[in-house]
Structures are given as structure tokens and as C-alpha cells.
Structure 1
Amino acid sequence: MKWRCCILMLLSGVSLLLVSMGSYAKSASFDPLDTIKLTKQGQQLFALFHQRETEPVKTLNSVEKFLSTVTDSSPPAYQALSLRIKHDILVNEGKLDAAEKVADEFVFLGAKSRKKWIVAEALTLKAILSARRGHAEVAYNLINQAVDLAEQTHYDRLLSRALNARGVLYSRRLKYEDAVKDYQRAISLVDSNASIGYLSKLYSNISVVYSRVKEWGKAIEYNMQAIDVALKSTHTSYEHLVVLYANASELMLEVNDLAQAELFNEKTTVVAEKSGNTKLIIHALWTQASLLMKQKQHLQAKPLVQRCLKLAKNMPDPMLYNQCLLGMGEIEFVLGELAPAQQHGQAALKAFEMIENKALALRSHQLLADIFQQTQEYPKAIHHLTEYYEGTQKVLFENREAQMFELQEKFENEINVEKIALLTAENNLKESTLERNKLREKFWLLLFVCIVMFSGWLFQRYRQHVQRIRRLSSSNKDLFNQSNIDALTNIYNRRYVEDVVIQSSASLSSPYFSVLMLDCDFFKRVNDTHGHDVGDEVLKACAMRLSGQIRDTDVLARWGGEEFIILLGLDSPTLPTEVLARMNQAIANKAMETTDVSIDMTVSIGATLPVTKKHLTSHWHELKISADKALYQAKAKGRNRAEVASTRVVS
């Protein structure tokens, strides 16, 4: 089973865990906070812990005063909680160097007192600090040590926090299955006494995973739940609210709900300004700039991103500065300022690769590919385009495979239902036959009227059985269409092509075949500009025009998204390029007429050199890769063209 399928199944399990949390019976676990709260001094420290974000200056003074009175006989738990409060305040103020020193004091305290739980707390803080500084590998090693120690001491409250932090690191590395497992386990450790604000963070992180795999509906659902929980908490920080509102704005942009996106953008700005925190103000500026860029208002977005860069330049967290740097490159590209756009894109790519943020690194590759196509530096364009496609196609293909898996399960379940129905019908017919034989034995004993009545009854039963069998046959036909026909374009789907090539190649009548991959050029712009309904109409029109260009010996299918595939049947091992040219012309020569607008559309085509039908089956995977690479070449050379693979997959 592919990781993408596992992610969707695990995420479904998260929902069940969240529902059942209230009645979850936890085994006994260690929690130092329970001991601290038993004394008057401990209760005072606990109150300071909850006000560290709302009243940082007052809280820091109180904690410094307490730490100045600490002696060797002071309880280590009190010292640990005081250091935690001081560390969190320094982090919120962006003083990461000072926070690092406090974390080191934390480690020393754990070693001195020989308390594993204190060491685990310290390692968790140091891991999160390392992640903020962009030292991903260091952060990963530290958080693994923290998880091990928290498990050894049964410190479930800390273990839940450490698993959440490790889940974030996994998510940045695109290891979504591992991230979901950690979030799921963290949720199972949250008890009825846990802060609902922390539960909000778990909801938010699950939302991020859904958004990374482009499940926008679920991402919005969990983010809105996170907001609802956060607003009910009395200890929700400004930073958490800014993140939630900014994520909500970006998610609403993805589903083209501009009104809601603007509403959450305003909320992001209000909370950030109220906090006075530079990091949060940068976050709010970036959210506002993203909204303007989505609305094609790049000139208005540019000064906001410039302000982001100015504020983020001296921030200890490199993520903020480089994200703004990438945004500036994207704006400059749209405005035609290619030289600075290239410079900013390359700098951002180098930084994101260094801190192992693969999602933003792929976005940087996409920007640089577009820039080098504009400057006609095709080898560089092909390099970045290949990096981008190889990174993104993995997620897209896994998404399709998950859909195929779900469809296959549905198909098999319905087949089982049909089998049961057919067996029932067969048994009914047998029973009916027995009844008819009994009637014949008594034939001479019955009156003519009774014979007519029973014959009519038998005929009615027989007709019902015939109708049932016909319905079952029709249902099987519908099931075939659901499994093998694309619902939008009414042509074959990916599953059908895979089945024909791997299992039913005898149904293909031509001796030779070429595999063609077709991709609609700039299709994302159609969706972003005119909406997904218009995009769907364009895809249907493309499918109809391509259907007019193929013969009975060819197979046309929707491969997924805006991609199509054609198995082009040939009589000889020579590929007639004029056929490919006709397909380009069929799409490009006439605008697509939709309900609202006319759309000029083109396609790029990648084709393999012809192979025999036998080799089509045995080298299917290699042929798909060869066609994909040819498609990348067509994209890199300006689109609206066809490229044939330079090498033959089979000698």
C-alpha cells in the first residue's frame, strides 16, 4: 500500500480518536505539574506559566526574582517550571540566543538532579529552537531523544508535545504518513485535564497535512475546529491565533472564496498588530501579500513583501526571510523583472534546501523553471522543471492511486453484493421450479379456474425473476462505467488503461504502439482566473476534440487532473509525426467555448518511439517515464508542441 493511501486512512482514524477522547480511559502516568500544584508556591508558579504570553514583562520579572532565591535544596520541579516560563517568553520576543542559554541551564539542571523528565523537557525545547533556526537534522535528533526519555518516564503530557513537534518536522520533510502517526498518538495522550489550547494546535497541524496533500475540504474543516477550540481557551497565544487565521485565509484562497479569505486576513492583521510582535507582523504582511497576489494585484503586493524582507532580515528564524524572498521573486517574475527574480529565486532555493523544507524548495524550482523559459536558457529550465515535476508528480500520482484504491474497494464490495443477489435469484428460481412440479402432480385434481390462476401466478413470478436478472445486468454495466469511465469527460480513465495494458492486451488490435502523454498548458491559470467550473468545461472540450483525432485501434483516457494519455496503434515501427501535429492543432486552432467565456487552450505532447504490443506490456513502466520526460521537453521548449523521446525503450 502506498504512503498516500496510508495517510488518508490514518487521518480518518484521527477523527475517531477525537470523538472518543472524552471517554478515553488513560493508564496512570507521571506528571510533575500535579505535584507542583499541591503547594502554595507551586500554584503561584503555575499561574505565572499561564500568563507568560499575555503579561510577559510582569511574568519575567517574577520568575527572575524566584530564580534568584534558588538554592541547592530547592525542588528541581519548581526550577524547571521557572526556566520553562523564562524560555517561552524569550522565544516569543525573538531572543533565540538568550532562550538557547536558558535551555542549556535546563539540561544542566536535569543532569544535576538526575531527573530524566527534566532532561526530556530541555531536549524538546532545544529541538524546537533548532528547527526555528533551520537546523532540521539537529532538531530531528534532539526530538527523538526527548521522545525516548518521555516514554521511559511515562511523562505523557511532555510525550504528546514532543510527538507534535516531531510531526511538524516530518511534515516539512514531506513524510506525511509519519507525521500523521505522531499527531494521532499525541491526540491519544491528551486527557481531560489537558489544555484545550494545545488540542487546537493538534487540530491545526492535522489541517496542515491535509492541505499538503491538497484535501482542501478536510484541511478547512480541521482548521476551523482549531479556531473554534482556540477561541474557547483562556490561554491562547497571539502567535497561535495569527497562524490559525493566516492558514484559514490561505485555505480559502485555494477554494476561491475571496470574501472569507479577506475576512481572515483582516483578523490576522488585527491580532498581529495587537501583539506588537515583529514575527507575527511579518506573518500578517505575508498573508495580506498572498491575498493580493492571488487577485493578480502584484504591484500592490510588492511593497508589503519589501516590508516583510526589511523586518525579517535580522530575525533569528531564517524561514520568514526566505519565504518573503521567494514571494518577491514571484512578484518580480510576473512584473517582468527577470534578473532580480532569478537572483531571489536561487537564494531562496539554496536556503530551503539547506533547512530541508522540501515544499518551498519545489516552489522555488517552479519559479526558476518559468524564469529560464522566459530567458530561453532551456537546459536550466529543463533541470528546474524536472525537479519540480518529480517532486510534485509523486504527490499527485499517489493521490490518484488512493482514489483508485477506494474505487477498487467500492467495486469489489458492489460485486459481492451482486453475487449475493444473483445467488438469491437462483435459489428463488429453484424454489419456483419445485412449486411448479408439485402443481403438475395435482394438475388433474384442480379446476380449470385454479389452473389459470396458478399459471398466472407462476408467470408473474417468472417475469419478476427475469426483470431482476436484467436489473443485475444493468447494474453490472453501470459498475463497469463507474470503474473505467471518467465521470467528468466521459472517456476512459487511468484504471482502464492500466488494466488493458497489463491484463487485457489481447484486446488491442495493432501490432505496434506509441504512448502519448498530453498536458493542458497553463491550465492552473484557467482555474485561478475563471474558476473550477470553467476549468471542467475546458477539460470536457479537450476530451471531445481529442476523441475526434483517434481511431478504433487507439485508446484515449484521462490520466488525471489536466493530463490525458493515448495508446496510439500503428501498423509499423515508425511514428508519423503529422498525427501529433494534428492533435496540437485540434486543440489550439479554435477557442474553447464555455458557458461564460472563450478560452484559448493548447496542449504539450510527449511521445515514445513505437514498440510491439508485447513490449507495451512488459515495459509499461519505462514507457510511461519516457513519455513523461518527452512531455517535460515539450513544456520546456515553449509548450503547444509535441516531442518524441530521443531513445527507444526497447531495442
Structure 2
Amino acid sequence: MVKLYSLKTRIIMLLKTVRATQASLSLLSVGLAILGLSTSTVAAPSVTFSSLEHTHLAQLSSSPPQRDNDIEQQLDNLLDGELIPSDHAALDELLRHIDSSTPIDTFVRAHGYQVMRLARSQQASAALALAQELKTLAETHTSSNALSEVETLFAETYLATEQMPLALTQVELLKQRLPLTSSARVRYHMQHLIARVLQQTGNYSEALEHLLAARELVPATQTQGQARRRLSLNVLLARIQAHLGQWQDAQTTTAQAIQQAIAQDSPQHLPDLYLLHAYAQQYQFGPSATLVEAFLKTAAVAHEANNSRVEMLGYNNAGAAALLLQDLNAAAEYLERGRVLATALERPLERSVTEFNLGYIQVLEGKHAQGIAAMLSAAETFNQLAQKRERMLLLTHIAKAYAIMGDYQQQAATLAQQLKMTQELADEQRDQQLADLQLRYQATEKNYQIKLLEQEAELREQELAAQQRQQQWTQATAIVALLFLGLLAFGYRKTRQLNGLLNQANSELQHQSLHDPLTGLYNRRALTDPTVGADPRLQSVPYAVLIIDIDHFKMINDQHGHAVGDEVLIAFAQRLRNSIRATDNAMRWGGEEFLVLFKAIDRDNLLEVVQSVLRKVVQSPFATSAGNLPVHISAGCALVTSATTDPRLSNAVKQADTLLYQAKHAGRQRLHYALSPEHVESLSLRF
């Protein structure tokens, strides 16, 4: 059993280390097992739920916030896990006895477990709808504890469904509500949730601070739940230590947490703890027979706990470690078990990695043609799902396979492909910097030309002034007068020409500063220009903001080259320009994102206009030098009316961007639109 002070001490020491070094952190990626390089995430459990009857919500009395101690005790007894009961049937039976007479704090807590079950089963809409009903009740009863618990449920839903921007926004709200919350249990849940969100987003220093705050609250919570809460905090601490590369500390923490879980009869934590402990061994000591046994132990524990995901990762990593030890028979056996589980779980990324390793084993066994074919087939699937840096890692092992086969020509070609991908990554990082530098250079050059024209115009004005003075001194003959008039007319015309050149230069500079050089559309700067984004009409009449993103555009660049990608962007912009109304403005928002301002458009016409525009843009393939390429899109659209609380354009753009993010998270090829701030709808864009 871990002493009470040990967790607090380790958190403080790790927090000091983070603050002192400010070193770059090595993050664990998800579920890869390429020749021994593997990591994991925590999957949400599969749950069932019973719906909350609206009549119960409507009939709750308006008594002051309070708790039902008997029901609270029953809920505590059900909490065998950290956050929600694992016995769903028992919870459903208890919920059937909770009605309009139940005090609000207890009512919200009990039905809050339903929200979390829905969220962990990826039913985000249902979870958020139920949480909103509970929030309305909490506000009606003016219960600060109940309202804090509901806001935490929103954050739990966003975290479980990987909506990290919304989760981070909710975290800021929870920080403000912490001083208003008196319940130690609710405050613990809030601090625990904040720490998990910050850990998921890489803010380890602040995550540790909230983890320590949660640890300080444990003694004030119910006695029977204190041990499992300390266990949960140890699990979270071990994950942060692993993310920070503190492998020895991670091993110590996971070993103690495993002992805690066994002593407390909390098997639900054991699979991930054994897996994390083995990872720490792997990254500290490298492959060994002991490491293989550690991953096999992980698989066995996960199988007993019916956790197929961790069981799959255990076998995959045991096989990868055995492969590095050149124990090919054992490696093939373990990898094949992992492949079967990945197939059953419908995890194509993990399955492709396992099949890649199995192909590598065949190459090592002398089955060259069969093995390299399996590796290339697996790499094709992997490349569709992984990032470019991860794909480069596969090329390293493909090159090694060709070297084993003695096919040095293919090895050289593979290494050249890897070198090209390395250069592409570097080029992509420089592209934006070069574009900005080029624009700044062009603007400087135009300013220089303008100054030269201004100086020439000033000189001409001085010459004309001298001619005018000469006229005053010379009036001897009509010929001289006529000559003067001719010179004056010439000077006037020349001055007009110079002024025209000056105005033209200014106009060109203004045009370049507001337009994208590739597509010719407006750029982001146009959003603040009085004739485009800052048009006063946007503040006084209904308008809408639409943001469009080309789905998987990076794959076009990767497969066909950046020149073909530019062809698609140019054609896309042309179609978009031809599809909008004359009163609207289209702009390239950045990369493969485009923004449209619909001016003077009302609620009744918006959806029809937007659908028409999107259909015209992508209903037919794009003709490029690489052939006809189909293009799919996701979009978010926000309407601003006189009833909108904040009608500013910046707020509308932010809302449209959030809706676009939700559309992409929902599977892409969708339009998420809000005709009012509180009502979001979704449409398919599969034309």
C-alpha cells in the first residue's frame, strides 16, 4: 500500500522538474508497435443506459439544494471504479427510485453517471442533451454544487469524445467555479478532470498542479472511496511521468499502483497499469526476455479483465520485442495473436503495423518475395492513416528488408523516397515563412517605387512653378505667351500621368495586401478592410460566415505533388467565386480552408444558398495534370441576426470555425450550421 505522503511528494518533485528544465517532452503516440516502438491510449468502456424521463425533470420541487444521505450512500457503495459504477444494472435499478422528490444535488449526481456512460459509449449528442437538462434544473434550484457537477459532466463528454478545444474551454469555466463549490467530492472530480484534460493536451506542469490539488482533497471525501481515489491519482501520475520520459519514476509509480489495485480488488485499472509498466521498462532498458514476459503478462491480465484492446497491444509489443531479439518463431506467434484481436476490434492501424512486422519476419526467414509483398501491402494501409513522420519510420524498415534481400537498387530508391519526405516536411515548415517574407519584400519594393514617383512629381511641380515665375517676368511677345501656355499644358498632362502612376501603384499594393497570390481570392487581411470584412452593414443587418475545409487535402499533395495541389486550390477558388452571389465575398482563409461572407441574408434563405454554393463547388471532379480528382469538403456556418448577443464578425468567425471542427470530428463531408447560437444542426455533403 502506498503511504499517504508518497503520492504528494512525487507530484511535487515532478512538478519542480518540469518547471526547472522546460525541456521538450516526448509524447507517446497511439497504439504503434513497429519493431518494438509502441504506445497506448485508454479506451472508454462500452455501456448501456436508461433514458431520463422528462416528466421527472419537470416535476422536481423548488426546495433548497440538499443531499439525500441514504441515496448518496448507495451511490458510494456502487462506485467500485473511479468515476462511474461498473454495475450498470444496479445503477439503473437505483435510478428508478429517484424522482421529483429527490434533492437536487443527489438527483444531479445520480443522473450524471448516465451522462458519463453515454459519453464513454461515444453518444455525445445524447450525453450533452441530458447534461443540458440537468444544468437547467441546477440553475432553477440555485445549487452551486449541482451546477459545478453538471459543468464537469460537459467537460467529461468533450474529453471522452476527443473534442479537445471544447474541453479546454470548459476547463477554464471549471477553474472559475472551483471557489464556488463546497462539496469535497465534486471539487475532487473537477480537479481530477482538469488534470486529465491538461495532460491530454500536453500541459503537464499545470496538470500536475491540479493533480496535487485533487490529492489534497482526498481526505475530505467519503472514507470508503479514498483508497480508490488515491489509486486513480497514481495511475494519472504514472501517465504524466511516462509522457515526460521519467521512465524509472513511471515504473515505481505503476508498480505501487498495481499493488494498490490488487489489494483493493480494483481489476479495471490493472490492464493499463501493466501495459504502462512494460512501456516504461521498454524505453528505459530496451528489448529483453524480461520485457517480452512483461508484455505477455499484460496480455494475460487484459484477457482476464475482458479488455481486448490492451490484450492486443500486449501481444503486439511482445511480438515486436521478440523480433528485436531475433526470436522469430515467438515473435510470429505473438504478432499473429495481436493481428487476430486487431481484426476483431476493427483497428486497421494496429493491424497494419502487426502485418508489417509479420512480413519483416518472413524476409528474415528467407521468404523474400512473400515478406516484402506483405510489408508493402501493410504499409499502403498504414500510410492512409498515419502521419508523414510515422510513414518515414516504415520506410526505414522497408529499406532494411531490401538490404537483407540484396536488392540494393530498391533499398536506394526507398531511402531516396524517405529523403524526399524529409525534405517535404522541412519545405512545408518553411513555406509559410517564405510566403510571408515574399509579401513583405513586395510591399517594401512597392513602397520604394511610390517614393520615387512622389519625388518625380514634386520635381515636376517645382519646374512648373519656375515656369509660372518666368511668365510673370516675360510677356514681351505673344509667341512667348503661347510657348508658356504650351509648356504649362504639357506639364499638367505630365503631372496627371505621374499622379495616375502613383494611384496605380497604391492600388496595386492595396490589392496585393488583401488578395491571396495563388487563388486571387481575398486573404485573411481582408477581414479587417472596410469594404470587405469590416463593412458596417455586417453590424446592422443579418449576415452569415461559412468556413470550408478540403478533406484530406494533404493526401493530394503527398500522392500527386504540391503543383497538383495548387491546381486544385486554384480551381476550387474559381468555382467558389462563380457560385456565390455578387453581394458576397470569398477568401482563402489559410492552407486548404476558405471563408465566405454572406451579406444581407436571412434565416429562411441561408441554408438553401449555402447548399447551392457547396454543391456547385464539389459536385464534379477537378481536372488536373494528374487526371480528374474528386474533392470532398467539410464546413461550418454561423448566422448572425439582430437577436444575436454578440454580433461582431470576429465572434461569428470563431463560431463557424468551431462548427467546422465539429463537422470534421463527426466524420467529415458534413455541414454543421447554427441558425441561432443555441441550436446546431448537421447535413451530409455527399453530393
State the TM-score bracket (shorter-chain normalisation). Answer: 0.3 to 0.5
TM-score, with length taken from structure 2: 0.42
Name whichever structure is richer in helix by fraction: 1
TM-score by length of 1: 0.44
